[in-house]
Amino acid sequence: MKGSDASNGKPLDSFIPPPLMNNEIALLAQFLETLGAEVSGHSASPLSAEQIERIREFASGKLGPSERQALLPSLLENETALSTLVKALQAQA
């Protein structure tokens, strides 16, 4: 039996769930790939083994929302970190 959502009148079976973590990562990967030359003006400091592991956890969706939020500034400020993230995402594809 099909019902409808009273708020918009659409059938309930047309409900589309919100994007999953993998979709967020895919969008982030596409965004990072488009940065290209713009990123090269940022710091390219070497990463510690711990930082690399956190980036891999981020790429695989193992970090919670607050952990991802805490990691983003360091990713966006460091070309090496961005490159590491892109490689980790590509390895999963």
- Rounded Cα gap, residues 12 and 84, in angstroms: 42
Average pLDDT over residues 60-82: 89
82 neighbors 52 (Cβ within 8 angstroms): no
Banded model confidence at residue 49, pLDDT cuts 50, 70, 90: very high
Hey, where are the domains in the chain?
47-93
Strand, coil or helix: what is 15?
A: coil
The pLDDT of residue 44 is 77
The pLDDT of residue 32 is 67
Instruction: Please state the pTM of the whole predicted model.
Output: 0.57
